Each structure stands twice: as C-alpha cells, then as structure tokens.
Amino acid sequence: MIKALQLMFFPLSAWQKVVEKERGVAGIFFLYWLPFMALVTAAEGLALVYWGDARGHFSRIMLVSQDVAMRYEARQWMAGLGILFGGSAVLQWLAAGFHFQTTYTRCFTVVAYGLAPTMLARLLDCVPTLNTWLCWGLGALCSVHVLYQGVGAVLQPNISGGFGLYLLSAFVLVFLTGMGHLFAVALLHGNGVF
C-alpha cells in the first residue's frame, strides 16, 4: 500500500526502485499484489457488513449480509486476477502492435503497480456515503497518472510509439477495471444480470 502512495506522489523515484528490484511475476504477485488485495478485500468486506452501503436515490444506508459481502468480494477477486493477468497479456500484445517486443514479466510489472491506485481507491469505498463510482473514477484517474511514468520506465519503448502505447494501455486498463467493478457492483445492488 505504501508503494501505491509512492507511485502516486513520487512516480519517478518509485518506478526506478521497481525497475531496480527486477522481481518476477511470482515475486510481484505473492509479495506485493496478494497481500495488498487481501488487505483491501478484508477492509471493504468488513465495512459492507458493519457500516453498510448507500442504496437508492436518497442514498439510504443499508447493512449488507455477510453472504452477499463475501460473494461481492469474491467477484472483486476474480475481476482483479483476470485484469492483472489478462491485462498483462493485452499490454504485451499492444506492445507488439507498436513493433516493440517485451516480456510478459515487464508487462505484468507495469499492470500490477499501475493498478495500485485503483486498489487503494477501494479503501475509500469503505465509507458508505461515498459513491462507489466516484471512488473507482478517482482510482482510475490516479492509475492513468501512474501508468504514464511506468510504461516508459519499465517497458522502455521507442520514442515514436511510447506515447501511443501508454494511451492504449491506459484506456484498456481503465475499461477493464470499470467492467470488473460493474460486474461486482451488480451483485451488491441486487441486479441479477451479472
């Protein structure tokens, strides 16, 4: 969680430290992503059960049952893991489209650390009076900011395609996190569509 704050407020030095560590996919997943996701999931789940969630046009606070909170968090886990691993593959594919070959590990590094602000914003979602989409939007905006430095620092694309790669990767990851959030919130608000 501290790394997410460093990436948001001191992106150049934080990305430089990430690059220097040269962790693999397993290292990043087990030492960074998994504990971070477990902390956020526990906090968000407990907040839903004990503080509730705003519902309806007048934002009436209603407590959420433990069963619904657990299913909601399970959906968040599924979406998070899919975005993490799938988004890394998409980023590698996008890089190849810009005639730039890179490894899956580098793409995984960019996605895992680049999405940290979105995960951090889920902690804001613990406050029942805050709109869940406002929290997601703030996290997505901060992720776009963090990805700007991350694509260049970790992937090191050529100058001519670097900005385009950044724009496409930011768009894809924001879209994927938005769809994942929609998928989870549909359950929480009782929409059986998803």
Task: Express each pLDDT in 73-92 by its tens digit.
Answer: 998 999 999 999 999 999 99
Q: Flag whether 59 is in a domain.
A: no
Partners of 62 in the β-ladder: 53
Q: Flag whether 127 is in a domain.
A: yes
Whether this prediction's pTM lies above 0.85 is answered by yes
What was the pLDDT predicted at 194? Answer: 47
Surface-to-core class of residue 23, CB atoms within 10 Å of its CB (0-12 exposed, 13-18 middle, 19+ buried) = middle
* Cα dist from 67 to 91, 137, 194, whole Å: 35, 27, 17
The domain of 98 spans 2-7+17-50+64-188
Q: What is the dihedral of CA 167, 121, 40, 52, to 10 degrees?
A: -140
Surface-to-core class of residue 99, CB atoms within 10 Å of its CB (0-12 exposed, 13-18 middle, 19+ buried) = exposed
Q: Flag whether 40 is in a domain.
A: yes
Low-confidence ranges of the chain (pLDDT < 70): 56-59, 191-194
Tally of domains in the chain: 1
Q: Flag whether 138 is in a domain.
A: yes
